Amino acid sequence: MSKLYPVSAEFAAQANIKAADYASLYDESVTDPDEFWGRIGKRLEWSKPYTQVQDTSFDASDLHINWYADGELNVATNCLDRHLEKHGDKIAIIWEGDDPNESRRISYRELHAEVCKCANMLKNLGVQKGDRITIYLPMIPEAAVAMLACARIGAVHSIVFGGFSPDSLAGRIVDCTSKLIITADEGLRGGKKVPLKINVDEALQRPGTNTVETVIVVRRTGSPVAMQAPRDRWYHSLMAAQSTECPPEPMNAEDPLFILYTSGSTGKPKGVLHTTGGYLVYASYTHECVFDLQENDVYWCTADVGWVTGHSYMVYGPLANGATSLMFEGVPNYPDVSRFWQVVDKHQVTLFYTAPTAIRALMRDGEAPVKKTKRTSLRLLGTVGEPINPEAWEWYHRVVGDERCPIVDTWWQTETGGILITPLAGAIAQKPGSATKPFFGIKPAIVDVNGTQLEGAAEGNLVITDSWPGQMRTVYGDHQRFIDTYFKTYPGTYFTGDGARRDEDGYYWITGRVDDVINVSGHRLGTAEVESALVAHPKVAEAAVVGCPHDIKGQGIYAYVTLKTGIEPTEELRKELRDWVRKEIGPIATPDYLQWAPGLPKTRSGKIMRRILRKIAENQPDQLGDISTLADPGVVASLVDERMIR
Ligand code: WTA
């Protein structure tokens, strides 16, 4: 039996959503979604009100997803302009630098002026509605300014995480034929400099990137960088000349807002496309309900702006709600491992949202670094990105939250735009390790391998049977891949790629990916991406990559490598290959384990049996199952003997 943490009466008394509200609103949201989302949509300001709400079908032969389809609005207006009259002086963004002595407070009025200037700058450089803009920035306010400036003029942003390599950046530029890049001289994380401009220069030497006409460079560290005329321009000099007024472009609800690349089980990363109206309704409404947002909250989401969590729950959701959102440039352990909690005390953070991997890493250092801070401002904690193990949940609750703060374990995906399964702290009792119940309008189901929907307590694959406003609309440039990836496996439903269990109380427990995607410290990686990086090395004949258990990261990367004939497996080569992957994709893709494999277990038709490789990497050699169908069952014994985790 898992432990139950009941809703605290004190928290419930002031909560936006109470138990009875959850029951009745959920019921309405799934029985009459048009009425429900029609009403919720009015939380935004529409320049042309919608008359239609939901128009969707998950039937692969007639797939369409439209929400509020005849409405018009602008995301930047909703995140900025409409707050000015009453809340112009309220702080929109608190920026906390990597260096604890550096921070900034930016009011809604100031942010509005910066965004208008940036929008005018882009327009003056020839950017038009629909153009794709790549943003490759560190965690500095200019990242939010750039996003909102794109939204204001109808340009589609594609943010690339600053930890990605020049090659990964180039791939994302080529895929969306980006016209302009906004970057910085360098990033700063944990006292170390990240050479962003150098990476951009390298990326732009790759074939197919010549659609990029302009590179705008924000001066962050001030280190000298090469500026190539006329392509490269300084952000500060361009901005100085711009007007603080810029009329927002009226956008149709279904016009694209952004593309964000994410890893799938096959091939290169997919450009997940989100649109304007439904996305913002969903991001803002979930943000208000899930974090129980109230007027004076100081809300901090630690995610990088390069991931979807940074999009929906650091920028768009909070700013649409007129909240104060904290943006942190640094890392949890710099200058020391108390940093998160020092920042909480310094800025009196009330709502705190982070990843289980960060909690597990901090647990290693014990309670003292946490307990020497006050944290009395905190009233709610959240997690996202991967399953949280009950031990980490309990520690977060007891040590960080002093047993006072409820925890929302929020399950969602880049594709879903916002949170789908989560407790609402004033309404739903929590069980450590369970994302608990579906949010309003979300109809999850658990299916077996044949696609039969299971009732009651059950375990299987997680699907969603009806649309919600924040859902992705397509894979940029490849609509067929969208249909094939998400709507064909279990016809008539959206397939999440996750496994889940539903218990006797109707609570959902996410068990992890069931496809070839691994989740390393909450970052999604396709095993195929790491494999193709490895086989691109001249000494590698073949490679297979699987996930393995990892105490801190949740999952680690375990690579099996077969070398070309005549190449000696040495420790130097092992290091060379790990560095190679790091350089090809980025530090997050560096294999934790690299095992030499004289051969890989394959079926007679040549397909690698990953099931077996996964079990070996999980140190469960007695659970390999049937290996008789292998072309050469003999290879298994030596792989087991040489396994690296025991
Ligand atoms: C996993 C991040 C368990 C899941 C927002 C999903 C989780 C993938 C949780 C999406 C959670 C996310 N509990 N697993 N609370 N949240 N996941 O696209 O496997 O980076 O499919 O989106 O992370 O990762 P993505």
**List of domains in the chain:** 521-642 (3.30.300.30)
Separation CA 509–CA 524 (nearest Å): 19
Separation CA 423–CA 289 (nearest Å): 10
| Chain-centroid distance, C-alpha 201 | 26
Q: How far is CA 594 from CA 37, 520, 530, 552, 597, in A?
A: 49, 16, 12, 18, 9
SS3 content of the chain, % helix, strand, coil (to 5): 35, 25, 40
| Residue 390 contacts residue 2 (beta carbons within 8 Å) | yes
Helix H or strand E segment including 114: helix 108-124
Ligand 1 within 6 A of CB of 262: yes
Q: What is the pLDDT of residue 607?
A: 86
Whose tokens are 């369409």? That residue is 64
Residue 320, phi then psi, degrees to nearest 5: -60, -30
| Residue 132 contacts residue 233 (beta carbons within 8 Å) | no
Cα 436 to middle of ligand 1, angstroms: 14
| Residue 200 contacts residue 169 (beta carbons within 8 Å) | yes
Find residue 499's DSSP bridge partners.
461, 512
Spatial CB neighbours of 74, under 8 Å, sequence gap ≥ 6: 47, 151, 152, 248, 249, 250, 251, 276
Answer yes or no: is 524 a known binding residue.
yes
pTM of the model: 0.96
Separation CA 627–CA 28 (nearest Å): 51
Separation CA 522–CA 172 (nearest Å): 21
Whose tokens are 């590698």? That residue is 540
Ligand 1 within 6 A of CB of 249: no
208-221 confidence digits (pLDDT tens): 999 999 999 999 99
Q: What is the pLDDT of residue 266?
A: 79
Band of pLDDT at residue 14, cut at 50, 70 and 90: very high
Atom 12 in ligand 1: residue holding the nearest Cα: 385
Answer yes or no: is 385 a known binding residue.
yes
Crossing angle of helices 277-290 and 33-40, rounded to 10° = 80
Task: Return the best residue to mutate from 524, 553, 588 for the ligand 1 pocket (most ligand atoms within 8 A of CB).
Answer: 524
Whether residue 267 has pLDDT greater than 80: no
Separation CA 481–CA 463 (nearest Å): 18
Separation CA 349–CA 97 (nearest Å): 16
249-259 confidence digits (pLDDT tens): 999 999 999 99
Cα 88 to middle of ligand 1, angstroms: 35
Atom 22 in ligand 1: residue holding the nearest Cα: 413
Helices (H), 141-276: 141-153, 166-175, 196-203, 235-240
423-462 confidence digits (pLDDT tens): 999 999 999 999 999 999 999 999 999 999 999 999 999 9
Give this complex's ipTM.
1.00
Band of pLDDT at residue 629, cut at 50, 70 and 90: confident
* Across 516-534, average pLDDT: 94
Listed residue (507, 495, 384) closest to 449, CA to CA: 495
Phi-psi region of 558 (alpha: psi -120 to 50; beta: other; left: phi over 0): beta
Answer yes or no: is 410 a known binding residue.
yes
Atom 11 in ligand 1: residue holding the nearest Cα: 411
Separation CA 572–CA 579 (nearest Å): 11
Burial class (CB within 10 angstroms; exposed 0-12, middle 13-18, buried 19+) of 176: buried
319-356 confidence digits (pLDDT tens): 999 999 999 999 999 999 999 999 999 999 999 999 99
Ligand 1 within 6 A of CB of 187: no
Cα 498 to middle of ligand 1, angstroms: 8
Residue 245, phi then psi, degrees to nearest 5: -120, 135
Whether residue 1 has pLDDT greater than 70: no
Ligand 1 within 6 A of CB of 515: no
Cα 311 to middle of ligand 1, angstroms: 15
Helix H or strand E segment including 513: strand 508-513
Q: Which amino acid is at 445?
A: A
First to last CA, the chain: 29
Ligand 1 within 6 A of CB of 113: no
38-64 confidence digits (pLDDT tens): 999 999 999 999 999 999 999 999 999
